[in-house]
Structures are given as C-alpha cells and as structure tokens.
Amino acid sequence: MELLCIQSQEHPQLPQAELKAVIECENINADIEKITEGLVILKNISKDNLLHYYEILTKRLGYTHEIHEIITKSSTDNLEEDLLAIDWSKYIDETFAVRVKRFHSEIDTVETERLAGFLILSQCDNIKVNLTKPKSLVRIVAFHNEIYVAIERIKLNKRHFEDSKPHKRPFFYPGSMNPKLARCMVNLSRIKEGELLLDPFCGTGGILIEAGLIGCKVVGSDVYWKMKNGTAINLEHYGITDFRTFKLDVRELKMYEKVSSVVTDPPYGISTSTGDIEGNDIFKEFFYSIYDNMKDDAYLCMASPHYVNLKPIADEVGFEIVEQYGIKMHRSLTRIISVIRKKLK
C-alpha cells in the first residue's frame, strides 16, 4: 500500500525530515520517496496497522497537510481509461468531490475535476457529487505528466497551528517560534507519547505546548519567574496537565529523572544573576549541563544562529550532530536546527 503525502513548501527539507523522524520513532515500516518539494510517497506500508498509522501521523505531523491512499498511478494520456477501470464503489460513500492539485504540471484543474467527476458518476450507481461537504474526497495529484489518483482517508486538522500562534496565547512575550516549527522540532527529537521532554529555556512554553499536545510529559525551566509562570498558564490553556515548571538557571539543572528528549531554542546571550554570558560560551555551558540529564539514547533538538559552530562544542562535551537544517530569517541571520545525540561509548 502507498500513501500520498502533500506537505508544506515552507522549507525544502524540514517537512520530509519530520515525517522520517516520526516514522522512525513510531516504528512505522515504510520507505519514503520524495517526488518533489511538497509531495512525498510512503511506500510498502503495511495494511494491517493502517488506521493506527493514520492516527499517529495525523496527531503528530506539523508540516504534512494531507495524507491519502493511492488508488492508482496514471498519466495525462491514460487518465480517462484508468479512472474508468477503478471500482469506485469500494472508495466512495454516497457523496464525493474530486480535487486536483498540480506540481510542475500544466493540466487544467477545473476541467480535470469536472471530467473525473463525470467518469466516476458514470461508473457507479447511488452516488452524488457534493462539492461543499462530500463524504469521500478523491484527490488527483499531477506531477509533470504523471497522475496519482488517491482517496482521502483522514483529514489533518491544521487549525491548531493558526490558533496557537504566540500572540494568541494567554501569556505572550516576544521571541517564541511559530508552533509548526516547534512541533517539527519536537518530532525531530524522536520523542514518543508518555515520554519525558525538557525545554530548559522554556520562555512562554511554545515548544512544550506542542510536545504536550502529542501526549508527552513535559518539563520547562527558565531563569525568570515571569517565564516559568507564563509557561504554566499557557500549558493549562491548551489543556496540558502532565507538566512541571521550574525557575532555574540552565547551568544549575539537575533533573529528578533523566529525560527522553530535550527540545529548545536557547537565547543568543543568556542572563545570569551575575550578568549576561554571550557567544559560544552559553552553548558550551548548556551542553555540559544537559548531558547528564539525558538518557543515553535521548536526542536534543535545538535552534542556534548560523555564526555559532556547534560541532567543536558538541565534540568536546561528547555529543554528535546527526542532522542540521538552515532556515533563513533575514539577510544576515540563518537559524540552524540541529538534531544531536550522545556519542556512542
């Protein structure tokens, strides 16, 4: 069985990296084939656990917008006959709509939707077109001259990412990253439901909200009371109850239990009671303090500015960098998202 994933094109690699990480940590057996930016196929996925997989992917993914079951692969030349060869009664429940999406393709979307709708109707009794609230959605995706004919099995609800933008939360303070990126970072850290995730620079709790919503236990700490308390207010607002927050300088961190992952967005200069520390030193201090608080197989996913070279610092402390992605913020700043783990002993 093959699933067609339509992804955000906000970044050239992160959506696919997020999908790969989730599949890996959730033990979903599938091969990922990238067709083009925004379009990925999950191949050789077992039918047996499909509903469970849908549930996990829907709950977790930030940068994947749609997931459909592929019915057939066709081409612009053969689409009509291939559509007529499908037993649509297996896929359509009373009412349906056809929606076409193009990637580097010239096909006429309105005309293709109309034609496909007509052919499906002609092939199946007791079904009707309903463009506003169809029970079944036929998704046709064109990439150059290739056509994927698919059926929507589950809808991913992206409203949350709009509704939880930093300025819409009860406690707001500038500097919180957008929730989709926060979700992606949580996923890149390969954490699973029920495991413990820590953000030691929690600020307003943006990362912890995303981790809490996929069912993790979360701990946040920040050097300021205002942030510690604000994080708790925000987590409660989103219905997250399994959390603890602390007012703590990251360098004093001593967790009551080793964590399964650390996801964080450190400041570019940290505040301390004795003044601010800047430059590479904060990252070194952070790495040293976090190391013993992480389980041996735990991942750290963090953001940093491009001008900080994390590699020598990670090496010194005993970490290795396994993935890195750049996000251009403006002309003079690229934010680097790194996935890091302890070096094997």
Rule CB under 6 A: which residues touch ligand SAM? Answer: 175-177, 200-201, 203-207, 222-224, 227, 249-250, 265, 267, 270-272
70 vs 202, beta carbon nearer ligand SAM = 202
Instruction: Give min distance, CB of 235 to ligand SAM, in A.
Output: 11
Residue 25, both tokens:
């940590």
Instruction: Give min distance, CB of 221 to ligand SAM, in A.
Output: 6
CB 198 within 8 A of CB 261: yes
155 vs 226, beta carbon nearer ligand SAM = 226
DSSP state of 128: E
Residue 156, both tokens:
């991913």
CB 221 within 8 A of CB 259: no
| 18 vs 40: CA distance, rounded Å | 12
CB 136 within 8 A of CB 120: no
Instruction: Give min distance, CB of 222 to ligand SAM, in A.
Output: 5
Q: How many CA atoms does the CB half-sphere of 67 hold within 13 Å?
A: 27
State the amino acid at position 49 in one-letter form.
Answer: N
Q: In degrees to the nearest 10, what's the CA dihedral of 177, 178, 182, 184? A: -140
69 vs 199, beta carbon nearer ligand SAM = 199
Instruction: Give min distance, CB of 79 to ligand SAM, in A.
Output: 46
Instruction: Give min distance, CB of 176 to ligand SAM, in A.
Output: 3
128 vs 168, beta carbon nearer ligand SAM = 168
Q: Who contacts 42 (Cβ-Cβ below 8 Å, separation ≥6)? A: 2, 3, 5, 19, 23, 30, 31, 32
19 vs 211, beta carbon nearer ligand SAM = 211
Query: What sign results for the dihedral spanned by CA atoms 13, 19, 23, 24?
Result: positive
| 237 vs 43: CA distance, rounded Å | 39
203 vs 212, beta carbon nearer ligand SAM = 203
Instruction: Give min distance, CB of 271 to ligand SAM, in A.
Output: 4
62 vs 206, beta carbon nearer ligand SAM = 206
Owner of token pair 């909200």 = 209
Beta strands in 231-318 (DSSP E): 243-247, 259-264, 269-270, 277-278, 294-305
Residue 129, both tokens:
């077109």
6 vs 198, beta carbon nearer ligand SAM = 198
Q: What are phi and psi of 216, to 5 degrees?
A: -85, 155
State the amino acid at position 10 in one-letter form.
Answer: E
Instruction: Give min distance, CB of 237 to ligand SAM, in A.
Output: 13
Instruction: Give min distance, CB of 338 to ligand SAM, in A.
Output: 15
CB 16 within 8 A of CB 50: no
Instruction: Give min distance, CB of 171 to ligand SAM, in A.
Output: 9
69 vs 210, beta carbon nearer ligand SAM = 210
CB 319 within 8 A of CB 292: no
